[in-house]
Structure 1
Amino acid sequence: MGDTVRIAVSNQKGGVGKTAVAINVAGALNDRGHDVLFVDLDPQGNATENLGMRDVYDEGPPSLFDVLSDAEKRHHVVDLVREHEEMDVIPSNIDMTAIEPELTLSRRSGQQLSLTLEHVDHEYDYVIIDCPPFLGNLMDNALYAAQNMLIPALAETTSKRAFELLFDHVSALEKDYDIRIRERGVVINRIDVRKNQAREMVAWIEDAFDDTPVWKVRERAAVQRAMTNGTSLFAEAPECDQLPSFREIARGLDEQFRRRRVSHD
């Protein structure tokens, strides 16, 4: 196995289906035979709940809050990893709602997640980081740790401003840390092809990201039903007509990172 690939699933605009994209991309990578670690960096813990770990969100220390806010506890991240049928998971925790000021006070505020993941991510092909829906220290930590970004977006005009804010933030972070954060793809999510605005925005996004892969996922009730049952579409709805879309995303990521599909046989 080569170096672990870390990918931040990022868009500070809420309501774009970010967690659904993150979970199903992780499921698609698992379907290709990869070992996947899923990190729920969102203090709301939606992915933790959607992966069937609601009780873990309320558990006491050690938690993700502890390993990110105390350098002496970073190595305890190995104790946080939970097994799921499709991937391993580092769950979020209710204490994460108080992490932003703690990170502000830390000496290397934007690097805590990267330093923490060094204790565990060598066991995986991919680390998928589900980012919080706001710009701040947690988002900085995700982007610095991954330096690869997958952007979920909706086919509506509000996405234009969201892209602008995200890329302004990314540019500032790149300057601050002297790094380059690469866009690995845009996932236009929950497309309703019956709407003219949706079709027009798909065309706009494809034109705006002409050097970046743009993948399209249509609105399907099966996506939410799968998460309600604690899995991705790959475990819950193998007949869903949107599975090929997520398979294409996983295949595209493998091509970019020069990874091969691993046979389950």
Structure 2
Amino acid sequence: LYDVLSEMGQLTLDDLNELIVNGNEFDIVPSHLRNFRLEKPLYSEARGVESLKLALDRLTVDYDYVIIDSPPNLGPLADGALLAAENVLFPSHANTIAKDSLEILFDEIDTL
């Protein structure tokens, strides 16, 4: 995922396909600990948070579903996942803190 987002303007469709790890039932594009280094560049680049959506738009022809496991915080990586997603699943506990978090998430989605 780091490779996709950090080199978005230079990657060809073949490059993107090489990053996909093919499995029996599903394929994945693995994440990496380096992803935290993308926060500042994604905010400072024009359309930086749209990088994931742009990459997925090039690949989704081959897939019925794409599941994005975004970080548990709000920031450019999570914003990129929210922009790329057609639907959002928010796993949480059923308590007041989760309710408040969900309201913040909805506000963020509205902002995007």
For 1:125, the equivalent position in structure 2 comes to 64
The number of aligned residues is 110
Q: Cα RMSD between the aligned structures? A: 1.5
CA distance in 2, matches of 1:155, 1:105: 36
1:99 partnered with 2:38 = yes
1:67 and 2:4 correspond: yes
| Alignment counterpart, residue 157 of structure 1, candidates 62, 74, 96 | 96
Cα deviation 1:40-85 (Å, max 9, x = unaligned): xxxxxxxxxxxxxxxxxxxxxxxx2222122112532211111223
Structure-2 residue corresponding to 1:78: 17
More helix, by proportion: 2
The structure whose Rg is larger is 1
Contact 1:67 1:116 in 2 (8 A): yes
The residue matched to 2:95 in structure 1 has which SS? Answer: coil
Shift of 1:147: 3.2
Q: Does structure 2 retain, via aligned residues, the 8 Å contact 1:78–1:119?
A: no
Summarize the alignment of residues 1-265 of structure 1 with structure 2, pairs less than 5 Å apart: 64-70=1-7, 71-73=9-11, 75=13, 76-173=15-112
Residues in 2 aligned to 1:147 and 1:110: alpha-carbon distance in whole angstroms: 16
**Residue identity matched to 1:68:** L
Contact 1:103 1:109 in 2 (8 A): yes
Give 1:119 deviation, angstroms.
2.6
Instruction: Return the letter of the residue paired with 1:72.
Output: Q
Which residue of the partner structure matches residue 184 of structure 1?
A: none
TM-score normalised by length of structure 2: 0.87
- The secondary structure found in structure 1 opposite 2:46 is coil
Structure number with greater CO (CA < 8 Å, separation at least 6) is 1
Deviations 1:197-226 (A, max 9, x none): xxxxxxxxxxxxxxxxxxxxxxxxxxxxxx
TM-score, with normalisation over the residues of structure 1? 0.39
% same residue: 40
Q: As a proportion of its length, which structure holds more strand?
A: 1
Structure 1: gaps spanning 5 or more residues: 1-63, 174-265
Question: Take 2:33 and 2:80, find their aligned partners in 1: how far apart are those partners?
Answer: 18
Shift, 1:115, TM fit: 0.8
